[in-house]
């Protein structure tokens, strides 16, 4: 078959052809990631120089990818390149079709309180926010915020402890939970508490693409854990770990990773799985696509059967979190990237003049 294709297609036929990251290089994502480590490349210009990029500054495809790979590989040394991020990751809010932004604070495991809800109500009134929406990830979205108001909105939300929900990020989004054994008569374990624990452990981490998680208190699965990137189903004997689900452009049920007995083991396995994906995923590749490329059995082998590999992933994630768990909203309230939120000119005023 290969010979036939070679005869038919001539030079354009390349067996096992690698898809290049973009037009700036002939290298694929795996090769770029491997060489970043092997050659200890620690800045975007160094990567481009050492790997003979064809363009001087890269493009909108390769720069965010390289920025992610460097953040992942050198968490303590690489300084995140703000210029290589898309607008929503630069301003830490989702841009909407009318040019305004949406603001989603983190609600750990979907839990909130009267104090938090009162603060959201105050912010909505004070900044005249037109729409307040409950999201599928069990959080509250304030839509229609003016860009120049974002730091003041975050400052007010921060007064009651709200931090960014990273609803715009290629990183950990939500950990959806059900009420579990605290309230539900079918609950086998404290699914809410476990979801909060996972979210507090893992928030802030950058990943190749967004990561959504869920914990259900029993196989009735009210938090829909079996269509998430990572899901946990609590059962009488412990916890069933799932991964590689999808419920967006593609619909796919999860694969079973394995079974563990304690909450600590859940954290260790989920974190190790996520770190394996962080280290091997191609930029913008969701977990279910990465799992298809690497092989579900291989992932199971490394995470469930190879304790040494699992511990390695786990400790590298913990090390990286030391540098990742910084709330971007409070940084900007303190003045970081101030220029992003100052309008270049008042068009209404100029039109009136
Ligand atoms: S998943 Fe089970 S424990 Fe959780 S709310 Fe539904 S029935 Fe209750």
Q: Which atom of ligand 1 is nearest to the CA of 180?
A: 3
DSSP state of 250: S
Q: d(Cα 255, Cα 230) in Å, to the nearest integer?
A: 9
Q: d(Cα 226, Cα 222) in Å, to the nearest integer?
A: 10
Q: Which atom of ligand 1 is nearest to the CA of 221?
A: 1
Distance 227 CA to ligand 1 centre (A): 16
Is the Cβ–Cβ distance between 334 and 168 less than 8 Å? no
Q: Which tokens hold the place of 71?
A: 């953040």
User: Which of 27-31, 290-294, 343-347 shows the lowest per-residue confidence on average (mean pLDDT)?
Assistant: 343-347
By C-alpha distance, which of 115, 230, 225, 91 is closest to 167? 91
Distance 238 CA to ligand 1 centre (A): 15
Cα separation of the two ends of the chain: 72
Q: d(Cα 179, Cα 186) in Å, to the nearest integer?
A: 10
pLDDT digits (tens, 9 = 90+) for 46-101: 999 999 999 999 999 999 999 999 999 999 999 999 889 988 999 999 999 999 99
Q: Please list every protein residue whose CB sits less than 6 Å from any atom of ligand 1.
A: 178-180, 184, 186-187, 191, 216-218, 220-222
- Ligand 1, atom 4: nearest CA belongs to which residue? 217
- Identify the bridge partners of residue 258 per DSSP, sorted by sequence position: 241
The whole-number pLDDT of residue 350 equals 64
Q: d(Cα 219, Cα 180) in Å, to the nearest integer?
A: 11
Which residues contact residue 305 at a Cβ distance below 8 angstroms, ignoring those fewer than 6 apart?
none
Q: d(Cα 218, Cα 187) in Å, to the nearest integer?
A: 6
Distance 235 CA to ligand 1 centre (A): 11
By C-alpha distance, which of 209, 284, 196, 212 is closest to 245? 212
pLDDT digits (tens, 9 = 90+) for 275-334: 999 999 999 999 999 999 999 999 999 999 999 999 999 999 999 999 999 999 999 999
- Please determine, for residue 17, whether its predicted confidence score (pLDDT) is greater than 80: no
- Identify the bridge partners of residue 134 per DSSP, sorted by sequence position: 140
Other residues' Cβ atoms within 10 Å of the Cβ of residue 265: 15
The whole-number pLDDT of residue 217 equals 98
Is the Cβ–Cβ distance between 143 and 133 less than 8 Å? yes
Domains detected in the chain: 13-85 (no CATH), 88-164+340-353 (3.90.480.10), 169-326 (3.30.413.10)
Q: Which atom of ligand 1 is nearest to the CA of 185?
A: 8
Distance 288 CA to ligand 1 centre (A): 25
Average pLDDT, the chain: 94
- To which residue do tokens 């998430």 refer? 228
Which residues contact residue 179 at a Cβ distance below 8 angstroms, ignoring those fewer than 6 apart?
187, 191, 192, 217
């Amino acid at each position: 078959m290969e010979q036939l294709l070679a005869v038919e297609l001539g030079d354009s036929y390349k067996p096992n052809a690698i898809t290049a990251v973009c037009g700036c290089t002939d290298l694929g994502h795996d090769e770029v990631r491997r060489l970043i480590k092997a050659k200890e490349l620690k800045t975007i210009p160094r990567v481009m120089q050492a790997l003979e990029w064809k363009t001087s500054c890269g493009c909108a495809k390769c720069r965010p990818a390289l920025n992610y790979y460097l953040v992942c590989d050198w968490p303590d040394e690489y300084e995140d390149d703000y210029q290589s991020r898309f607008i929503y990751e630069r301003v830490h809010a989702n841009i909407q079709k009318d040019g305004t932004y949406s603001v989603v604070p983190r609600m750990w495991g979907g839990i909130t309180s009267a104090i938090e809800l009162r603060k959201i109500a105050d912010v909505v009134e004070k900044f005249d926010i037109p729409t307040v929406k409950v999201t599928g990830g069990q959080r509250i979205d304030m839509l229609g915020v003016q860009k120049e108001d974002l730091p003041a909105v975050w400052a007010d939300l921060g007064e009651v402890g709200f931090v960014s929900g990273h609803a715009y990020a290629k990183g950990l989004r939500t950990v959806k939970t059900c009420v579990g054994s605290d309230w539900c008569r079918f609950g086998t374990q404290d699914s809410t508490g476990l979801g909060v624990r996972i979210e507090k452990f893992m928030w802030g981490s950058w990943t190749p693409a967004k990561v959504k998680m869920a914990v259900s208190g029993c196989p009735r699965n009210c938090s829909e854990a079996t269509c998430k990137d990572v899901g946990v189903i609590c059962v009488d004997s412990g916890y069933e770990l799932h991964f590689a689900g999808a419920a967006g452009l593609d619909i796919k049920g999860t694969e079973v990773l394995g079974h563990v007995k304690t909450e600590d083991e859940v954290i260790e396995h989920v974190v190790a799985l996520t770190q394996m994906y962080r280290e091997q995923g191609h930029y913008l590749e969701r977990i279910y696509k990465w799992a298809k490329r690497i092989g579900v059995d291989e992932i199971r082998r490394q995470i469930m059967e190879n304790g040494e590999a699992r511990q390695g992933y786990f400790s590298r994630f913990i090390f990286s979190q030391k540098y990742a768990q910084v709330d971007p909203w409070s940084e900007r309230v303190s003045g970081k990237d101030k220029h992003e939120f100052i309008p270049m000119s008042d068009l209404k005023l100029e039109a009136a003049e």
